[in-house]
Structure 1
Amino acid sequence: MDIRQLAAFHKVATLLSFSKAATELKYAQSSVTSQIKGLEMSLGVDLFDRLGGRIQLTDAGQRLLPYAEQMLTLAGEARGATVGSGDPAGVLTIGSMESITSYRMPPLLEFFHHRYPALHIVLRPSLCAETCHALRQGMFDMGFLMEAETQHPGVQTEVLGSEPLTVVAAPDHPLTRLPKVTTEELRRTQVISAEAGCAYRELFEAELNDGTGEALPFLEFGTIESIKRGVAAGLGISLLPTACVQDALDAGLLVRLDWEIPFEVFTQLAWRRGKNLTREMRVFTDQTMRFLAEEYGR
């Protein structure tokens, strides 16, 4: 097992394509295939299932992936510490939820792609509790959180700002005709939400359940885009980060309900407490704060 094999494995595992991995690594596809076969032979396991024109990670490949990311990161750190110059390089594994990845990160990722091409940023979909656990276990280098709390055991955070939230409905929903919407009126309305474990969903649910004596049913959709489509189709109302629904509000597909939100969540950049930030992590932190400062009014 060597670094070139791990780099080839990581790229193929990320892209799930030998040809795309070869293009990004600037290798011949046969070289990438040879590196993967050599790694599989040294480990004595298959790392990919090859199903016709598609590939997917085997269980062994899934187990190897976080270790490969850590080893590539350490190799980048060693190179930087030894050479002491040059651009940041290696792999940064970042845990993030959909609302940050899809609606906040694209300009930042574009910047890193052009400015630091040797630094590979890997985004892992993860809810906040899972991200904190992965940070403490060393499985993620950094992660984004969206929580009411800003203190987390074993995790250091930098608060990026208060995340604006909006309750939305279809334009013809009965609640849109009200100048003010009360909590009691929301309790009598079907709510579409993200999966359990999402901080703002849990705060919203707790607010609607308060004093009722029973849990109110939430209609769970898998993604923010599916929630927006469900709301636009009149299936219910939803509470989402404003950044996720601004396009639909501007297009008139959704309407903002005038309900005073009695809680607040903060978007945070996090890493394991006590960890010495590498050059790559410092660059990522600095640029994240620079790109997102204006959005959060900092």
Structure 2
Amino acid sequence: MPPSGLVIVDKPAGWTSHDVVGKMRRLAGTRKVGHAGTLDPMATGVLVIGVEKATRLLGHLALTQKGYDATIRLGVTTSTDDAEGEILSTASAAHVAEDAVRAGVAALTGPIMQIPPQVSAIKVNGERAYKRARAGEEVELKARPVTVHAFEITAVRRDGDAVELDALVTCSSGTYIRSLARDLGTALGTGGHLTRLRRTRVGPYELAAARTIEQLAEDCVILPIAEAVASAFPRMDVSERDAGLVAHGGRLPAQGLGPGPIGVFAPDGTLLALAEEHGGSTRSLAVFVP
């Protein structure tokens, strides 16, 4: 059995997140593999893969902040809000001033209400929105609260009637960069879509730590589960007596480590559980020791 832990993959363009999971199942030699936070086939970059017991961390890791390096094209709208969709309309963006772009970006920074793309994995009446959209149905998606912590334009390129913007985005879980591109284009009166997306960070896991599929095929490096938890969440070290209590699902007094998951460790450094503080006590979300 392979060790339980995380693999930080640099996803190639053209692969679905599920394609990466399938490849990692073969490389790690186990069916128990999953991923935290889907990347569209067009996108590249950080995809966090969980192996064996670490699959139980993925739902918690998916909720952490994410970073992106993106390119937005003004002057063209598409059916998917990215370069993979059909062109719906074109308009000249040649007149758009950089001050207007920066004002548009500022309006999309901070807590915002965002409507997801028509072609997204969100469920509508039990069915994925993208399935309904591809069947020709007009999908009514509701705006959802997300937080764009930073939205910075790093380059502006003019190409005839079109304008290309390079941007760095840091955002909360559930934020669609495609929707930011669409909404910026709408605000500027030109339309817009996403032409390039590279995820640079998921929580504490950055691109520098990611390995390509080719590198993993040569050496399948798995970050041990204890290290993965220690780098992603606050840490609580407990006594031998309390370790026994945690292993059996018992509660401990809260230590004021804040909201969100906490890694609970035995005196020898073994990961015991992922827990959260609630009402003065610490309760386990997932126990990892037998």
TM-score of the superposed pair, with normalisation by structure 2: 0.27
Tell me the TM-score normalised to structure 1 length.
0.26
> Comparing both structures, which one devotes a greater share of its residues to strand?
2
